[in-house]
A and B are shown apart, each in its own frame.
Chain A
Amino acid sequence: MSQLRADTGTLVAVHGAGLSYGAHSVLDDVSLTLEPGRITTLIGPNGAGKSTLARLVLGLARPDRGRVTRRPGLRVGYMPQHLQVDESLPLTVDRFLWLAAPGRTRARRDALQRTGVAHLRRRAVRGLSGGEMQRVLLARALLRKPDLLVLDEPAQGVDVSGQDALYGLLGQVRDETGCGILLISHDLHLVMARTDQVVCLHHHVCCSGTPEAVSRDPAYHRLFGPSGGMPNLAVYTHDHDHDHDLSGDPHHDHHGHTGDHHHD
Protein backbone atom coordinates (compact mmCIF):
# COMPACT_ATOMS: atom_id res chain seq x y z
CA MET A 1 0.00 0.00 0.00
CA SER A 2 1.24 3.45 -0.84
CA GLN A 3 -1.06 4.72 1.86
CA LEU A 4 0.48 7.57 3.81
CA ARG A 5 1.28 7.29 7.48
CA ALA A 6 -1.27 8.78 9.81
CA ASP A 7 0.91 11.64 11.02
CA THR A 8 2.95 12.66 7.98
CA GLY A 9 2.56 13.13 4.28
CA THR A 10 0.12 14.84 2.00
CA LEU A 11 -3.21 15.72 3.60
CA VAL A 12 -5.33 16.15 0.51
CA ALA A 13 -4.43 15.78 -3.14
CA VAL A 14 -6.64 17.03 -5.96
CA HIS A 15 -5.76 15.48 -9.32
CA GLY A 16 -7.04 17.14 -12.49
CA ALA A 17 -10.44 17.79 -10.96
CA GLY A 18 -13.27 19.24 -13.00
CA LEU A 19 -16.79 20.17 -12.02
CA SER A 20 -19.62 21.56 -14.15
CA TYR A 21 -23.10 22.80 -13.36
CA GLY A 22 -24.99 22.07 -16.54
CA ALA A 23 -23.05 23.63 -19.42
CA HIS A 24 -21.13 25.92 -17.08
CA SER A 25 -17.73 24.60 -16.13
CA VAL A 26 -16.78 25.84 -12.65
CA LEU A 27 -13.50 23.99 -12.33
CA ASP A 28 -11.40 22.54 -15.08
CA ASP A 29 -8.37 20.29 -14.69
CA VAL A 30 -7.43 21.66 -11.28
CA SER A 31 -4.61 20.04 -9.31
CA LEU A 32 -3.60 20.95 -5.79
CA THR A 33 -1.77 19.28 -2.91
CA LEU A 34 -2.05 20.29 0.72
CA GLU A 35 0.84 19.41 3.02
CA PRO A 36 1.10 19.46 6.81
CA GLY A 37 2.63 22.61 8.26
CA ARG A 38 2.06 24.59 5.09
CA ILE A 39 -0.28 27.52 4.50
CA THR A 40 -1.78 27.47 1.03
CA THR A 41 -3.77 30.45 -0.16
CA LEU A 42 -6.31 30.26 -2.92
CA ILE A 43 -6.79 33.58 -4.67
CA GLY A 44 -8.92 34.58 -7.61
CA PRO A 45 -11.77 36.88 -8.58
CA ASN A 46 -15.34 36.34 -7.41
CA GLY A 47 -16.96 33.42 -9.17
CA ALA A 48 -13.61 31.85 -10.02
CA GLY A 49 -14.54 28.58 -8.28
CA LYS A 50 -12.53 29.07 -5.07
CA SER A 51 -15.30 27.97 -2.74
CA THR A 52 -16.17 25.07 -5.02
CA LEU A 53 -12.57 23.86 -4.90
CA ALA A 54 -12.68 24.14 -1.11
CA ARG A 55 -15.85 22.02 -1.10
CA LEU A 56 -14.00 19.34 -3.09
CA VAL A 57 -11.16 19.41 -0.55
CA LEU A 58 -13.67 19.18 2.32
CA GLY A 59 -15.51 16.27 0.72
CA LEU A 60 -18.74 18.30 0.49
CA ALA A 61 -18.79 17.93 -3.29
CA ARG A 62 -17.44 15.35 -5.73
CA PRO A 63 -15.65 16.20 -8.97
CA ASP A 64 -17.18 15.16 -12.31
CA ARG A 65 -13.71 14.53 -13.68
CA GLY A 66 -10.41 13.77 -11.97
CA ARG A 67 -10.22 12.75 -8.33
CA VAL A 68 -9.63 13.96 -4.81
CA THR A 69 -7.73 11.78 -2.34
CA ARG A 70 -7.64 12.48 1.36
CA ARG A 71 -5.31 10.98 3.94
CA PRO A 72 -7.18 8.27 5.88
CA GLY A 73 -8.48 9.49 9.23
CA LEU A 74 -7.89 13.11 8.28
CA ARG A 75 -9.40 15.54 10.79
CA VAL A 76 -10.60 18.72 9.19
CA GLY A 77 -11.53 22.01 10.84
CA TYR A 78 -13.72 24.13 8.62
CA MET A 79 -14.58 27.78 8.93
CA PRO A 80 -17.35 28.59 6.44
CA GLN A 81 -17.73 32.01 4.88
CA HIS A 82 -21.15 32.62 6.40
CA LEU A 83 -23.00 30.87 9.13
CA GLN A 84 -26.41 32.13 10.02
CA VAL A 85 -28.27 30.48 12.87
CA ASP A 86 -32.03 30.63 12.48
CA GLU A 87 -33.66 33.21 14.73
CA SER A 88 -35.95 30.51 16.12
CA LEU A 89 -33.03 28.51 17.55
CA PRO A 90 -31.73 29.80 20.89
CA LEU A 91 -28.04 28.99 21.03
CA THR A 92 -25.24 30.27 23.22
CA VAL A 93 -21.66 30.36 21.98
CA ASP A 94 -20.74 27.58 24.41
CA ARG A 95 -23.58 25.37 23.16
CA PHE A 96 -22.51 26.08 19.60
CA LEU A 97 -18.99 24.87 20.38
CA TRP A 98 -20.39 21.88 22.26
CA LEU A 99 -21.69 20.55 18.93
CA ALA A 100 -18.06 20.04 17.86
CA ALA A 101 -16.62 19.15 21.28
CA PRO A 102 -19.16 17.69 23.69
CA GLY A 103 -18.32 17.28 27.34
CA ARG A 104 -15.14 19.34 27.29
CA THR A 105 -16.02 22.64 28.94
CA ARG A 106 -12.38 23.41 29.64
CA ALA A 107 -11.33 22.82 26.03
CA ARG A 108 -14.13 25.06 24.79
CA ARG A 109 -13.09 27.85 27.12
CA ASP A 110 -9.45 27.49 26.03
CA ALA A 111 -10.38 27.59 22.35
CA LEU A 112 -12.31 30.83 22.83
CA GLN A 113 -9.40 32.24 24.82
CA ARG A 114 -7.12 31.32 21.95
CA THR A 115 -9.13 33.25 19.40
CA GLY A 116 -9.54 36.17 21.80
CA VAL A 117 -13.28 35.92 22.46
CA ALA A 118 -13.46 34.20 25.86
CA HIS A 119 -15.88 36.89 27.04
CA LEU A 120 -18.49 35.75 24.48
CA ARG A 121 -18.91 32.25 25.90
CA ARG A 122 -22.34 32.83 27.41
CA ARG A 123 -23.62 35.16 24.74
CA ALA A 124 -26.24 34.17 22.18
CA VAL A 125 -24.85 33.31 18.75
CA ARG A 126 -27.48 35.56 17.22
CA GLY A 127 -26.35 39.14 17.64
CA LEU A 128 -22.61 38.50 17.41
CA SER A 129 -20.87 40.88 15.04
CA GLY A 130 -19.27 39.53 11.86
CA GLY A 131 -15.78 39.63 13.37
CA GLU A 132 -16.92 37.99 16.63
CA MET A 133 -18.67 35.21 14.70
CA GLN A 134 -15.53 34.58 12.65
CA ARG A 135 -13.50 34.10 15.82
CA VAL A 136 -16.11 31.79 17.33
CA LEU A 137 -16.11 29.76 14.11
CA LEU A 138 -12.32 29.58 14.23
CA ALA A 139 -12.50 28.39 17.85
CA ARG A 140 -14.90 25.64 16.78
CA ALA A 141 -12.56 24.59 13.96
CA LEU A 142 -9.56 24.53 16.33
CA LEU A 143 -11.45 22.48 18.92
CA ARG A 144 -11.32 19.54 16.56
CA LYS A 145 -7.51 19.53 16.73
CA PRO A 146 -7.48 19.45 12.94
CA ASP A 147 -4.78 18.08 10.65
CA LEU A 148 -6.13 20.47 8.06
CA LEU A 149 -7.78 23.82 8.61
CA VAL A 150 -9.91 25.21 5.77
CA LEU A 151 -10.96 28.84 6.02
CA ASP A 152 -13.27 30.47 3.50
CA GLU A 153 -12.69 34.25 3.41
CA PRO A 154 -11.69 34.44 7.08
CA ALA A 155 -10.99 38.16 6.98
CA GLN A 156 -14.42 39.18 5.77
CA GLY A 157 -16.04 41.83 7.93
CA VAL A 158 -12.88 42.21 10.02
CA ASP A 159 -10.95 45.48 10.13
CA VAL A 160 -7.31 45.63 9.04
CA SER A 161 -5.73 45.27 12.49
CA GLY A 162 -8.13 42.38 13.18
CA GLN A 163 -7.08 40.75 9.93
CA ASP A 164 -3.45 41.10 10.84
CA ALA A 165 -4.10 39.49 14.23
CA LEU A 166 -6.08 36.70 12.58
CA TYR A 167 -3.33 35.81 10.12
CA GLY A 168 -0.80 36.02 12.95
CA LEU A 169 -2.89 33.56 14.94
CA LEU A 170 -3.16 31.18 12.00
CA GLY A 171 0.64 31.21 11.63
CA GLN A 172 0.97 30.44 15.34
CA VAL A 173 -1.49 27.55 15.11
CA ARG A 174 0.43 26.15 12.17
CA ASP A 175 3.75 26.43 14.02
CA GLU A 176 2.41 24.81 17.20
CA THR A 177 0.29 22.01 15.79
CA GLY A 178 1.91 21.45 12.41
CA CYS A 179 -1.46 21.39 10.71
CA GLY A 180 -1.91 22.32 7.08
CA ILE A 181 -4.01 25.39 6.28
CA LEU A 182 -6.03 26.21 3.19
CA LEU A 183 -7.08 29.85 3.03
CA ILE A 184 -9.47 31.33 0.54
CA SER A 185 -9.06 35.01 0.05
CA HIS A 186 -9.36 37.80 -2.36
CA ASP A 187 -7.60 40.36 -0.26
CA LEU A 188 -4.11 39.76 -1.44
CA HIS A 189 -1.59 41.96 0.28
CA LEU A 190 -2.02 40.64 3.83
CA VAL A 191 -2.27 37.07 2.67
CA MET A 192 0.75 37.14 0.43
CA ALA A 193 3.10 37.96 3.26
CA ARG A 194 2.09 35.03 5.43
CA THR A 195 1.59 32.15 3.11
CA ASP A 196 3.86 29.38 1.85
CA GLN A 197 2.07 28.62 -1.39
CA VAL A 198 -0.29 30.72 -3.49
CA VAL A 199 -2.65 29.18 -6.00
CA CYS A 200 -4.19 31.61 -8.41
CA LEU A 201 -7.51 30.25 -9.61
CA HIS A 202 -9.85 31.27 -12.36
CA HIS A 203 -11.76 28.05 -13.14
CA HIS A 204 -8.35 26.60 -13.89
CA VAL A 205 -5.06 27.12 -12.07
CA CYS A 206 -3.55 30.21 -13.70
CA CYS A 207 -0.34 30.04 -11.73
CA SER A 208 0.93 28.75 -8.42
CA GLY A 209 4.04 28.78 -6.27
CA THR A 210 5.63 30.90 -3.58
CA PRO A 211 4.15 34.40 -3.11
CA GLU A 212 7.26 35.91 -4.71
CA ALA A 213 7.09 33.66 -7.74
CA VAL A 214 3.38 34.22 -8.22
CA SER A 215 3.62 37.98 -7.88
CA ARG A 216 6.16 37.96 -10.71
CA ASP A 217 4.02 35.74 -12.90
CA PRO A 218 2.43 37.43 -15.93
CA ALA A 219 -0.74 35.33 -15.46
CA TYR A 220 -1.14 36.78 -11.99
CA HIS A 221 -0.96 40.32 -13.38
CA ARG A 222 -3.41 39.52 -16.12
CA LEU A 223 -5.83 38.30 -13.47
CA PHE A 224 -5.38 41.05 -10.91
CA GLY A 225 -4.06 43.98 -12.92
CA PRO A 226 -0.69 45.72 -12.81
CA SER A 227 -1.12 46.76 -9.15
CA GLY A 228 -1.43 43.12 -8.06
CA GLY A 229 -0.33 42.62 -4.50
CA MET A 230 -0.57 46.29 -3.60
CA PRO A 231 -2.79 47.37 -0.72
CA ASN A 232 -5.17 49.33 -2.95
CA LEU A 233 -6.04 46.09 -4.66
CA ALA A 234 -9.05 45.79 -2.40
CA VAL A 235 -11.08 47.60 -5.04
CA TYR A 236 -10.70 44.57 -7.28
CA THR A 237 -12.83 42.49 -4.96
CA HIS A 238 -15.87 44.15 -6.49
CA ASP A 239 -14.61 44.24 -10.04
CA HIS A 240 -15.28 40.96 -11.81
CA ASP A 241 -14.55 41.99 -15.36
CA HIS A 242 -10.82 42.28 -15.16
CA ASP A 243 -8.31 42.33 -18.03
CA HIS A 244 -8.24 38.56 -18.21
CA ASP A 245 -11.68 38.56 -19.79
CA LEU A 246 -10.98 41.34 -22.23
CA SER A 247 -7.42 40.64 -23.25
CA GLY A 248 -8.54 38.58 -26.20
CA ASP A 249 -5.54 36.41 -25.60
CA PRO A 250 -6.42 33.85 -22.95
CA HIS A 251 -3.97 31.30 -24.33
CA HIS A 252 -0.99 32.04 -22.15
CA ASP A 253 1.08 29.05 -21.34
CA HIS A 254 1.00 27.83 -17.75
CA HIS A 255 0.64 24.52 -16.06
CA GLY A 256 -2.88 23.46 -15.31
CA HIS A 257 -4.12 25.64 -18.12
CA THR A 258 -6.26 24.14 -20.85
CA GLY A 259 -7.31 27.18 -22.84
CA ASP A 260 -10.90 26.34 -21.96
CA HIS A 261 -12.26 29.55 -20.50
CA HIS A 262 -15.68 30.17 -19.10
CA HIS A 263 -16.65 33.59 -17.97
CA ASP A 264 -19.96 34.72 -16.64
Chain B
Amino acid sequence: MIELLAPALLAGLAVALVAGPMGSFVVWRRMAFFGDTLAHGALLGAALALALDVNLYLAVVVACLAIAAALVGLQQQRQITGDTLLGIVAHTTLALGVIAISLQKSVQVDLFAYLFGDLLAVNWRDVLALWAGAVLILVLLAWHWRALLSITVNEDLAQVEGVPVTRTRLILMLLLALLIAGAIRTVGVLLITSLLVIPAAGARRLSRTPEQMAALASLLGLASVSLGLAGSWYADTPVGPSIVVAAAVLFGFTLLRRPDS
Protein backbone atom coordinates (compact mmCIF):
# COMPACT_ATOMS: atom_id res chain seq x y z
CA MET B 1 0.00 0.00 0.00
CA ILE B 2 2.70 2.48 0.98
CA GLU B 3 4.61 2.02 -2.30
CA LEU B 4 1.42 2.84 -4.13
CA LEU B 5 0.44 5.79 -2.01
CA ALA B 6 3.86 7.33 -1.36
CA PRO B 7 4.16 9.36 -4.60
CA ALA B 8 0.55 10.55 -4.27
CA LEU B 9 1.05 11.55 -0.66
CA LEU B 10 4.33 13.37 -1.33
CA ALA B 11 2.85 15.20 -4.32
CA GLY B 12 -0.20 16.26 -2.35
CA LEU B 13 1.92 17.43 0.57
CA ALA B 14 4.05 19.62 -1.71
CA VAL B 15 0.94 21.39 -3.02
CA ALA B 16 -0.63 21.74 0.45
CA LEU B 17 2.55 23.16 1.96
CA VAL B 18 2.66 26.00 -0.56
CA ALA B 19 -1.11 26.45 -0.58
CA GLY B 20 -0.89 27.58 3.08
CA PRO B 21 0.88 30.92 2.63
CA MET B 22 -0.43 31.43 -0.92
CA GLY B 23 -3.98 30.74 0.24
CA SER B 24 -3.49 33.23 3.07
CA PHE B 25 -2.69 35.94 0.53
CA VAL B 26 -5.71 34.90 -1.54
CA VAL B 27 -7.90 35.30 1.56
CA TRP B 28 -6.30 38.56 2.73
CA ARG B 29 -6.49 40.18 -0.69
CA ARG B 30 -9.95 38.76 -1.47
CA MET B 31 -8.64 37.03 -4.56
CA ALA B 32 -10.59 33.74 -4.23
CA PHE B 33 -12.61 34.27 -7.39
CA PHE B 34 -9.51 35.54 -9.17
CA GLY B 35 -7.60 32.38 -8.23
CA ASP B 36 -10.55 30.33 -9.42
CA THR B 37 -10.50 32.11 -12.77
CA LEU B 38 -6.78 31.42 -13.24
CA ALA B 39 -7.40 27.77 -12.37
CA HIS B 40 -10.17 27.50 -14.95
CA GLY B 41 -7.87 29.06 -17.50
CA ALA B 42 -5.23 26.50 -16.59
CA LEU B 43 -7.33 23.84 -18.31
CA LEU B 44 -6.99 25.77 -21.56
CA GLY B 45 -3.23 25.80 -21.00
CA ALA B 46 -3.24 22.04 -20.43
CA ALA B 47 -5.21 21.50 -23.65
CA LEU B 48 -2.71 23.62 -25.60
CA ALA B 49 0.16 21.68 -24.07
CA LEU B 50 -1.38 18.45 -25.37
CA ALA B 51 -2.11 19.88 -28.82
CA LEU B 52 1.32 21.44 -29.28
CA ASP B 53 3.14 18.70 -27.40
CA VAL B 54 4.95 21.08 -25.04
CA ASN B 55 5.59 20.84 -21.30
CA LEU B 56 2.33 20.83 -19.35
CA TYR B 57 3.55 22.93 -16.40
CA LEU B 58 5.11 25.54 -18.65
CA ALA B 59 1.97 25.83 -20.76
CA VAL B 60 -0.25 26.20 -17.69
CA VAL B 61 1.96 28.91 -16.16
CA VAL B 62 1.95 30.82 -19.45
CA ALA B 63 -1.83 30.44 -19.80
CA CYS B 64 -2.41 31.69 -16.22
CA LEU B 65 -0.17 34.71 -16.74
CA ALA B 66 -1.84 35.51 -20.07
CA ILE B 67 -5.25 35.40 -18.39
CA ALA B 68 -4.06 37.56 -15.50
CA ALA B 69 -2.73 40.12 -18.00
CA ALA B 70 -5.99 40.01 -19.98
CA LEU B 71 -7.98 40.59 -16.78
CA VAL B 72 -5.87 43.60 -15.84
CA GLY B 73 -6.44 44.97 -19.35
CA LEU B 74 -10.19 44.31 -19.30
CA GLN B 75 -10.53 45.98 -15.90
CA GLN B 76 -9.55 49.31 -17.46
CA GLN B 77 -13.10 49.69 -18.73
CA ARG B 78 -15.64 50.43 -16.03
CA GLN B 79 -19.02 49.28 -17.31
CA ILE B 80 -18.56 45.66 -16.28
CA THR B 81 -17.50 45.13 -12.67
CA GLY B 82 -14.63 42.92 -11.59
CA ASP B 83 -16.58 39.88 -10.42
CA THR B 84 -18.75 39.78 -13.54
CA LEU B 85 -15.62 39.98 -15.65
CA LEU B 86 -14.06 37.12 -13.69
CA GLY B 87 -17.21 35.06 -14.21
CA ILE B 88 -17.10 35.67 -17.95
CA VAL B 89 -13.41 34.85 -18.29
CA ALA B 90 -13.47 31.86 -15.91
CA HIS B 91 -16.27 30.03 -17.65
CA THR B 92 -15.27 30.98 -21.17
CA THR B 93 -11.75 29.65 -20.68
CA LEU B 94 -13.11 26.53 -18.97
CA ALA B 95 -15.47 25.88 -21.88
CA LEU B 96 -12.69 26.47 -24.41
CA GLY B 97 -10.41 24.14 -22.44
CA VAL B 98 -13.00 21.35 -22.38
CA ILE B 99 -13.62 21.74 -26.13
CA ALA B 100 -9.91 21.83 -26.89
CA ILE B 101 -9.27 18.67 -24.87
CA SER B 102 -12.21 16.84 -26.45
CA LEU B 103 -10.79 17.66 -29.89
CA GLN B 104 -7.52 15.84 -29.17
CA LYS B 105 -7.35 12.95 -31.63
CA SER B 106 -3.95 11.47 -30.94
CA VAL B 107 -4.34 10.72 -27.24
CA GLN B 108 -7.23 9.64 -25.13
CA VAL B 109 -7.35 12.25 -22.38
CA ASP B 110 -9.19 11.79 -19.13
CA LEU B 111 -10.93 15.15 -18.71
CA PHE B 112 -12.08 14.13 -15.24
CA ALA B 113 -8.46 13.93 -14.12
CA TYR B 114 -7.85 17.56 -15.06
CA LEU B 115 -11.05 18.82 -13.48
CA PHE B 116 -10.85 16.93 -10.21
CA GLY B 117 -7.22 15.83 -10.12
CA ASP B 118 -5.71 12.37 -10.24
CA LEU B 119 -3.25 12.19 -7.41
CA LEU B 120 -2.87 8.41 -7.67
CA ALA B 121 -1.55 8.74 -11.22
CA VAL B 122 1.51 10.85 -10.34
CA ASN B 123 4.92 9.25 -10.76
CA TRP B 124 8.24 9.95 -9.08
CA ARG B 125 9.22 12.47 -11.75
CA ASP B 126 6.09 14.49 -10.99
CA VAL B 127 6.90 14.34 -7.28
CA LEU B 128 10.36 15.71 -7.92
CA ALA B 129 9.02 18.50 -10.15
CA LEU B 130 6.35 19.42 -7.58
CA TRP B 131 8.84 19.64 -4.70
CA ALA B 132 11.25 21.69 -6.82
CA GLY B 133 8.39 24.04 -7.61
CA ALA B 134 7.29 24.14 -3.97
CA VAL B 135 10.77 25.06 -2.76
CA LEU B 136 11.05 27.73 -5.45
CA ILE B 137 7.72 29.29 -4.44
CA LEU B 138 8.57 29.20 -0.73
CA VAL B 139 11.95 30.83 -1.31
CA LEU B 140 10.39 33.59 -3.43
CA LEU B 141 7.67 34.08 -0.84
CA ALA B 142 10.17 34.38 2.01
CA TRP B 143 12.31 36.76 -0.04
CA HIS B 144 9.41 39.11 -0.82
CA TRP B 145 7.40 38.46 2.35
CA ARG B 146 7.58 41.96 3.80
CA ALA B 147 6.80 43.63 0.49
CA LEU B 148 3.89 41.27 -0.16
CA LEU B 149 2.50 41.88 3.30
CA SER B 150 3.03 45.64 2.98
CA ILE B 151 0.99 45.95 -0.20
CA THR B 152 -1.69 43.72 1.33
CA VAL B 153 -2.07 45.99 4.38
CA ASN B 154 -2.07 49.26 2.44
CA GLU B 155 -0.71 49.95 -1.03
CA ASP B 156 -0.35 53.72 -0.61
CA LEU B 157 1.65 53.37 2.59
CA ALA B 158 3.78 50.65 0.99
CA GLN B 159 4.56 52.85 -2.01
CA VAL B 160 5.48 55.85 0.14
CA GLU B 161 7.81 53.57 2.11
CA GLY B 162 9.56 52.55 -1.08
CA VAL B 163 8.00 49.14 -1.83
CA PRO B 164 7.77 48.53 -5.60
CA VAL B 165 4.01 47.94 -5.54
CA THR B 166 3.39 46.92 -9.15
CA ARG B 167 6.36 44.54 -9.24
CA THR B 168 5.31 42.93 -5.98
CA ARG B 169 1.78 42.42 -7.27
CA LEU B 170 3.20 40.75 -10.39
CA ILE B 171 5.33 38.45 -8.25
CA LEU B 172 2.25 37.33 -6.33
CA MET B 173 0.48 36.67 -9.63
CA LEU B 174 3.41 34.64 -10.93
CA LEU B 175 3.59 32.57 -7.76
CA LEU B 176 -0.13 31.87 -7.96
CA ALA B 177 0.26 30.74 -11.57
CA LEU B 178 3.13 28.42 -10.59
CA LEU B 179 1.06 26.91 -7.78
CA ILE B 180 -1.93 26.34 -10.04
CA ALA B 181 0.29 24.67 -12.60
CA GLY B 182 1.52 22.30 -9.91
CA ALA B 183 -1.91 21.67 -8.48
CA ILE B 184 -3.66 20.88 -11.76
CA ARG B 185 -2.53 17.25 -11.68
CA THR B 186 -3.18 16.73 -8.00
CA VAL B 187 -6.49 18.31 -7.00
CA GLY B 188 -7.63 19.49 -10.44
CA VAL B 189 -8.74 22.89 -11.70
CA LEU B 190 -12.14 22.86 -10.02
CA LEU B 191 -10.81 22.16 -6.55
CA ILE B 192 -7.62 24.26 -6.42
CA THR B 193 -9.37 27.29 -4.93
CA SER B 194 -10.72 25.19 -2.07
CA LEU B 195 -7.26 23.95 -1.15
CA LEU B 196 -6.10 27.59 -1.16
CA VAL B 197 -8.99 29.10 0.72
CA ILE B 198 -10.30 26.50 3.20
CA PRO B 199 -7.09 25.81 5.20
CA ALA B 200 -6.29 29.56 5.30
CA ALA B 201 -9.80 30.36 6.52
CA GLY B 202 -9.47 27.71 9.21
CA ALA B 203 -6.08 29.06 10.27
CA ARG B 204 -7.43 32.61 10.62
CA ARG B 205 -9.35 31.78 13.77
CA LEU B 206 -6.28 30.33 15.45
CA SER B 207 -3.69 33.00 14.57
CA ARG B 208 -2.53 36.34 15.88
CA THR B 209 0.09 37.14 13.22
CA PRO B 210 0.22 36.67 9.43
CA GLU B 211 3.12 34.22 9.74
CA GLN B 212 1.21 32.06 12.22
CA MET B 213 -1.75 32.00 9.88
CA ALA B 214 0.36 31.00 6.87
CA ALA B 215 2.10 28.22 8.81
CA LEU B 216 -1.12 26.92 10.33
CA ALA B 217 -2.79 26.95 6.92
CA SER B 218 0.06 24.78 5.64
CA LEU B 219 -0.42 22.37 8.55
CA LEU B 220 -4.16 22.18 7.97
CA GLY B 221 -3.49 21.60 4.26
CA LEU B 222 -1.01 18.80 5.01
CA ALA B 223 -3.53 17.17 7.36
CA SER B 224 -6.29 17.53 4.74
CA VAL B 225 -4.20 15.82 2.07
CA SER B 226 -3.23 12.97 4.42
CA LEU B 227 -6.77 12.44 5.71
CA GLY B 228 -8.31 12.79 2.25
CA LEU B 229 -5.91 10.29 0.74
CA ALA B 230 -6.48 7.81 3.57
CA GLY B 231 -10.23 8.24 3.28
CA SER B 232 -10.05 7.75 -0.45
CA TRP B 233 -8.01 4.55 -0.01
CA TYR B 234 -10.35 2.95 2.49
CA ALA B 235 -13.70 4.22 1.18
CA ASP B 236 -12.72 4.08 -2.50
CA THR B 237 -13.79 7.69 -3.11
CA PRO B 238 -12.22 10.09 -5.64
CA VAL B 239 -9.03 11.55 -4.16
CA GLY B 240 -9.36 15.29 -4.97
CA PRO B 241 -12.89 15.70 -3.60
CA SER B 242 -11.95 13.61 -0.55
CA ILE B 243 -9.12 16.04 0.23
CA VAL B 244 -11.46 19.01 -0.07
CA VAL B 245 -14.03 17.37 2.21
CA ALA B 246 -11.28 16.64 4.76
CA ALA B 247 -10.22 20.31 4.61
CA ALA B 248 -13.82 21.40 5.12
CA VAL B 249 -14.23 19.08 8.13
CA LEU B 250 -11.04 20.49 9.69
CA PHE B 251 -12.34 24.00 9.03
CA GLY B 252 -15.53 23.00 10.84
CA PHE B 253 -13.49 22.06 13.89
CA THR B 254 -11.77 25.45 13.94
CA LEU B 255 -15.19 27.08 14.17
CA LEU B 256 -15.57 25.52 17.62
CA ARG B 257 -12.76 27.69 18.94
CA ARG B 258 -13.49 31.25 19.95
CA PRO B 259 -11.23 33.60 17.96
CA ASP B 260 -8.60 35.65 19.82
CA SER B 261 -9.02 38.74 17.78
Contact = CB atoms under 8 A, between A and B. Distances in A.
Nearest to B151: A99
B40 interface: no
B204 A90 contact: yes
The residue among B28, B30, B201, B213 with the most chain A CB atoms within 10 A of its own CB is B28
Contacts of A90: 204, 207-210, 212-213, 260-261
22 contacts: A58-B160, A59-B159, A60-B160, A76-B160, A78-B160, A80-B154, A83-B154, A83-B157, A88-B27, A88-B204, A89-B213, A90-B207, A90-B208, A90-B209, A90-B210, A90-B212, A91-B153, A91-B209, A96-B153, A99-B150, A99-B153, A126-B261
Interface of B: 27-28, 30, 146, 149-150, 152-154, 156-161, 201, 204, 207-210, 212-213, 260-261
B208 A100 contact: no
Contact of B208 (A80, A92, A140, A144): A92
Nearest to A102: B146
B160 A89 contact: no
**For this complex, into which size category does the number of interface residues on chain A fall?**
20 to 34
A117 interface: no
A111 to B, nearest CB: 14
Given A88-B27, A99-B150, 12 more contacts: A58-B156, A58-B160, A59-B159, A60-B156, A80-B156, A89-B153, A89-B210, A90-B209, A90-B261, A91-B210, A99-B146, A99-B158
Given A95-B210, A99-B146, A102-B146, A89 B152 contact: yes
Interface string A124-138: 101100000000000
Contacts of A88: 27-28, 30, 201, 204
B98 to A, nearest CB: 33
B160 A85 contact: no
Given A78-B157, A86-B28, A127 B146 contact: no
A209 to B, nearest CB: 28
